[in-house]
Amino acid sequence: MATYLEQELEDIKSKIYEMADLAMESISRSIDALKNSDVDEASKIIDDDTALDLLEVAIDDDCIKFLVTRQPAAVHLRLVLSLLKINTDLERIGDLSTNVARETIRLEGRPLLKPLVDIPRMASIAIEMIRDSFKAITEQDVCLAREIIERDREIDELNLQVFRELFTYMAEDAHHLTQSLSLIMIAKALERIGDHATNIAERAIFYIEGVDVRHCDD
């Protein structure tokens, strides 16, 4: 039978996993809305971000209450500290997804310059990184967490590729300026989502090993 401490931890983990699902869904929905030039769906994504904000507050409260009342030691302390920071990363991922939705609204349903390839790929990688980071936490798999961190380089490379391609479009025809800038902003938002997914993988390593790998040059 689970102790009160274990049950409280499970409750917190359940909420953070729910938040992760909402964050990943928000990324996917925002890219689908972009590809389909669906302004109405983009507006709904922005409205639905409230659920992530409310969960962030609830999780913060639960974590702080747990730290104060239970005064956990060792691995439980590292887990709750990691979840506190992951909570912030997930909330920011939600905000960045709404940034993508806002750019979709700004495009006003106009046909895209070209079929999107690199931007959806960036989103897919980011979602995989988030999903696998939580798998690493659940399975206490440090090797997986470290591999996730390396994947962020692919998102960075795709972001540069998108910028170069769209810069060429802008240089060739000034009529492409507005849409190109919006797509560049979207790619930048996805690059930042990749950074937050990397943060989550780093928090997983801290929880499992007690090692802070941020800013390390491996």
Residue 214 predicted with pLDDT over 80 = no
Report the candidate in 202, 100, 115 with the shortest Cα–Cα distance to residue 151. Answer: 202
User: What ranges in the chain are assigned the alpha helix state H?
Assistant: 4-35, 39-70, 74-106, 118-139, 142-172, 177-209
The answer, yes or no, to whether residue 217 has pLDDT greater than 70, is no
Name the band, by pLDDT with cuts 50, 70 and 90, for residue 212.
confident
Query: How many other CB atoms sit within 10 Å of the CB of residue 36?
Result: 13
Indicate whether 65 pLDDT > 70.
yes
Mean pLDDT to the nearest integer, 176-186: 94
**Domain 4-209: CATH architecture, name and number where available:** Up-down Bundle (1.20)
In whole angstroms, give the CA distance from residue 49 to residue 100.
Answer: 12
- Number of Cβ within a 10 Å radius of residue 173: 11
pLDDT band at residue 101 using 50, 70 and 90 as cut-offs: very high
Model pLDDT for residues 112-170, shown as the tens digit of each residue? 888 899 999 999 999 999 999 999 999 999 999 999 999 999 999 999 999 999 999 88
Q: Where are the domains of the chain?
A: 4-209
Identify the residue whose tokens are 């797509």: 183
DSSP of 57-116 = HHHHHHHHHHHHHH---HHHHHHHHHHHHHHHHHHHHHHHHHHHHHHHHHTTTPPPSS--
Q: How confident is the model at residue 107 (pLDDT cuts 50, 70, 90)?
A: very high
Query: Could you say which DSSP state residue 140 is in?
Result: T
Distance CA 178, CA 174 (A): 8
Q: Band of the pLDDT at 2, cuts 50, 70, 90?
A: low
In the block, residue with structure tokens 């690199």: 118
Q: How far apart are the first and last CA of the chain?
A: 42
- 119: its two tokens: 């931007």
pTM to 2 decimal places: 0.94
